Structure 1
Amino acid sequence: MNTLPDFTASTAAEYLADGNTFAKVAKGFKALEDTLGVLATNDILSSIEIQRTTELSSDYIGKRINVKATSPITVTLPEIKNTHPSNVLLLRNLGTETVTVKGAATDTLGWTPATLETGESVLLDADIAGNDKTWHVLLRGGQHVTGRYLLKAFDASKDKGETVEIELAPGYLNYELDFSTVRTDNKDGQYFMMQISPDGGKTWQTSDYALGIYQTGSNDVPNSIQDAKNAHAITLQGGQSSMSTTAVSGRIYMFEPAQTDTGHHFMMDTVAALNNGDNARSEGGCVASSAGNKPYNRIRLFFGDRETGAIAGKVVRGQFRLYGIS
């Protein structure tokens, strides 16, 4: 079994391969170190509370500003002054309405749209070197921030197990799994499939997957529609009979794994290279129902027999990336 590790600095090689250099990385860490020094010097943990539209003075710089408003308000940031040793401040929206953030008339705010929703925070700083006079976002977060976040990264060739198992870290509404050039050591045209688990991998759902998949391809690959009301797994790619799949790439979207109101929804989009030189493209959807429509928190991917759901072969190659979407 392959288990995806948490995303760590082990992916630095990929970062450097994208054209970055150790000098750039070191420069970035130096800037962060300087900022942390500023925060320590100015005791940003001390806080000031505001509840109405306010133009902040320089007394607010270096502080944590808790905004507790019951109606929409506007907060104007302090004027950036070259004479001030550190232009850093933290804004937190602890109220029930949206907070709009503005820069002073002489300054620029490098943040669009400049709003904080309930529960959201932003750490701002201004680099006074060269009279920049711009507030920049250093860190932003909170329970209402939306985006796509890389959670796990894994190279299957390092383990070559029968399955790739992935834990879905809690705290995200939806998830996306990208996979590329996934291969098996079984050359009998097996399907690439996925199953879900409600209990961290102790048990796996092996029935009640309602599938609808449209497949097309080049040359000898016929256009086809594959429907199944009670499949053993979610089919991602395969079924080429004697035309063995040499590699599969694609993605699957998982919508609200934590919900219990109805069956779980999935969307798939994949492409496969075949050993006869052709290619096959599949796209479709799936609804997975189970007793009580339990939430699921773990998935596994494998090559196997669609008719039985049995695992057949190992995953010997493939890059996997799991993203959380909030």
Structure 2
Amino acid sequence: MTTEATPSAAAPGPGPRALARQRRRRAAAHFWRQYRTHRAGLVGLAVLALFALVALTAPLTVGSDVASVTDAPGRPLQGPSGAFPLGADRYGRNLLGLLVWGSRVSLLVGLLAAVLSVAIGALVGITAGHFRGPWATLLMRVTDWFLVMPTLVLAIALATVMSRSLGTVVLAIGVTSWPTTARLVRAQTLAVESRPYIERAKALGGGHWHVMTRHVLPNVMPLVLAQATLMVSLSILSEATLAFLGLGDPSVVSWGGLLQDAREAGAVSSGDWWYLVPPGLAIAVVALAFTLCGRAVESVLNPRLGVTR
């Protein structure tokens, strides 16, 4: 008597989380393939990687005592030499070491301020785009008020009335530079909520929090990411401006603080270019690199922009 072979049980497929991870990996790989086609974006990314490496290895390359005034190894306002490639500041400290150490503060403040600014803008934009009526109108009127006011003036006013610290600088930049992000995110939120699947989600019982976090937020995240990349350069420039005006933290070294020290030491009138040019050039190069990366990210996420490669 022959027996029929029982069919083997089908192997279970990957679960929802595994599928989600696979989609994210494929999306990341596709993003990188598209990003690599933008030569300017690759140049900006390489420059940022170099500055990040310099900032992270600063304690090993120049040491934390480079900012010490009491143990300054050189003469005040000493010109460039073999021992001091960029000269010495008004206290006799090595300007090259100060430039390397200052990259840590400038990049950190720029990143934190940009994250705070984009977070506030995304929250306001999604809320104003999802909820209609008086609440959304009030939010957008407040956004318009911040938008028409000069950002730098508001940041200076806020930094003046608060204590001089890095937290104050981050807060002053972050809470005054979010309106542009809020406007962009609100427009994207309105476009997303007009799609049919949002109506189906609401009909199936999805509440405000579900719709905003599960449907709207993932669709506006590419815009938020591109805006965050562009905001870092603005935050670094704002931090340098506040430090140059004497509103930064006097106990830390930053590129803007070096420019402020050079101004107080009379480097402009005395022609000490080596005191002024390196920190100013570092600020300009990093801001340009972030801008190049932001434009490349924006072009990848929205190819219709037609950004030049």
**Larger RCO: 1 or 2 (CA < 8 Å, sep 6+):** 2
Give me the TM-score of the superposition, normalised by structure 2: 0.24
Q: TM-score, normalised by structure 1?
A: 0.23
